Each structure stands twice: as structure tokens, then as C-alpha cells.
Amino acid sequence: MSRARTARRIAAGAAYGGGGLGLLGVATAGVVLAEVQLAKRTVGTGLPDPPRADGLYGTEFGGPELSPGPLRLAMLGDSTAAGLGVRRARQTPAALLASGLSAVAERPVEMRNVALSGAMSDDLDRQVSLLLDGDRPAPDVCVIMIGANDVTRRMPPTQSVRLLTAAVRRLRLAGSEVVVGTCPDLGTIEPVYQPLRWLARRLSRQLAAAQTIGVVAQGGRTVSMGDLLGPEFAANPREMFGPDSYHPSAEGYATAAMAVLPTLCAALGVWPESDRLDVSRDEDMLPVAKAASAAAGQAGTEVTAARGPWALLKHRRRRRLPAPESAPEPIPSLSGDPADTEPRPA
């Protein structure tokens, strides 16, 4: 069965109910289960909590009291969105995206990160509530990175897509633009061996394609994380992966953030390139399922809604991100309690 057809079945199951396709199906043979247990023992362990990057970026463009005020950016998702594996806040994808958005828009950016290490898609409802329940206005734009834990913990893909779609719908109804970094290609992880490597790649790409169909239907945009955005990871795993050989290093997060930034800026209308197709970069207008399937197989590809059942498949030019030179200014607590500004353990 083609990836596009599988993605359509998963997305349809998420939208209309039903179990859809099981993530492991008949592949839960003894050798695969043994590989899973080996991988769990060797990756994703022994790392401290990710640093907090909440605060105000781009203060050189004016303070929060100036009109029209700072752009409000929120980060949701799992350990990749939280920045697990780096030591400094400025190395997290949240800080890199906030700094890059500020430089492109020439406005301050207020960043709030509610991502949680180890989160699955069933945690998105809680994260969205943190952003929308309270006196603060809804974010102007939200970036969600989710899906890897859904695959490794065998959440049914229809349930995974249903939960993600519900979160995107809530944010869109609140007035936020949404950009989703789809499930990364877990087949690139070094300690994962065959046949689990082949299975992980197949399942993560199927989920990524189904996520795209669901997100685009709600008016969001997706960016394919693929093999964490580029052949650099396959060629230089020691540099692009962190000390646990699972989460990205600072260089890896920067590579991922550079691929997300153009779509993030385009969602707010501040990217210098339009949403028109550029045939010189193999961009195309395709049925949503085919666009989702193509994007899942090519990292860094953006999919956004076009007319009716069609979607734009775009390969935007990446730009080097300006690294934050210092810690951002903290965002004041709503309750007035200084403890509320302290980092929450992930």
C-alpha cells in the first residue's frame, strides 16, 4: 500500500473514528521486540532537564510597551521542542526560532515554551490549555513538534493524529497560526538496528504524512522533520546527535530550526518569499495526501493548504539563524509569584 493511501486511511480514521492501522501490526515478532528493548536501554537516558528559553527576544527592535508590541510565539510538543540535550537556553529550538523570527520581522518576540520531555500527542490538550486558559492573549503563532514518542510507545496512529488535529483546531479557533514539525524519521538513530530501523522509518514516515493531512485540513502548515532535516545527520551523526545518540546536539537543533523558520515567518506574512510556487525548486500543487507523502520522504518540505483538496508543496530557502547573545528577559508571572517564572521540570 502506498504511503499516500496509508496516510489517507489514518487521517480518515482520526477524523471519523475507527482504529485504522496499528503501528506495529504483525511486525511485533520476537526479534523486533528485542531490538526495541535494546534501543530503549541505549538512547534518551542520563540527560538533565532542558533549559528554559521563555522570555523576550529582539529587544533592540523596541520594548513590549511600544505599538504594535511583540509577536507572541509559543512552542509545544515533546523533548525536541523542549530542547533536551543542550545546556544553554540559547541553543534550544525555541530560542533559535524566537531570535530568527525577531530578526526577520524586526519586532520583539515573546517566547513561551510549554513543551514537555517525553510527551505524546495526548499531552497536547494540557499544553494548549496552558496557553489559552488565563488572562494572556493567544499566541500569534505556535510551533508544535510531536510524534516520535507516539511511535516508540505504540500509540495507534489514528489516535495520534486525532489528538494533534484537535490541538491545532483549538489554537486556530483562538486566532493562532500553527506550524507543525511532523514526526521525525526514527530510522536515523544510531543505536537502532535492523529490522527495527526499517520499521521505525516506515512507521514514522506514515505518521508524518497522516499528521500533515490532519493539520492542513485545520488551516495549519507542516514542515517535514524527516531525518532531522538533511543528510548532515546521516553523514555526521557524532556532531548532529547529542550525548545520548538520540536527541539532537546544538548543531542538530540549529539545523532543524533553520528549516522551520521560513514556514514560521511565512505563516505570519513576514517571510520575503511568497506562497507562490517556484518550479526551479521542484515545488508543486498536489492533492493533500500526495503532498503529505512527498513531504514525509523529503526533509524540510513545507505543506500548506491551497484550493479545495489541493496543497502547496514548497522548499523554502533556509537562512542562518542569529544566535541569541544573552539570556532573554523573563516573562512576568501572571500571579505575581516569582516562583512562577522559574523553570518547570520537564
- Residues annotated as catalytic are 79, 244, 247
Residues with Cβ within 8 Å of 280's Cβ and at least 6 positions away in sequence, in order, are: none
Other C-beta atoms closer than 10 Å to the C-beta of 340 total 12
* Sequential DSSP letters for 206-257: HHHHHHHHHHHHTT-EEE--TTTSSTHHHH-HHHHB-TTSSSB-HHHHHHHH
Identify whether the C-beta of residue 150 lies closer than 8 Å to the C-beta of residue 121. yes
Is the Cβ–Cβ distance between 197 and 187 less than 8 Å? yes
Q: Which helix (H) or strand (E) holds 99?
A: helix 93-105
Query: Which pairing describes strands 302-305 and 221-223: parallel, antiparallel, or unpaired?
Result: antiparallel
Rounded to 5, what percent of the chain is helix, strand, coil?
Answer: 45, 15, 45
Q: For residue 113, what are the β-bridge partners?
A: 75
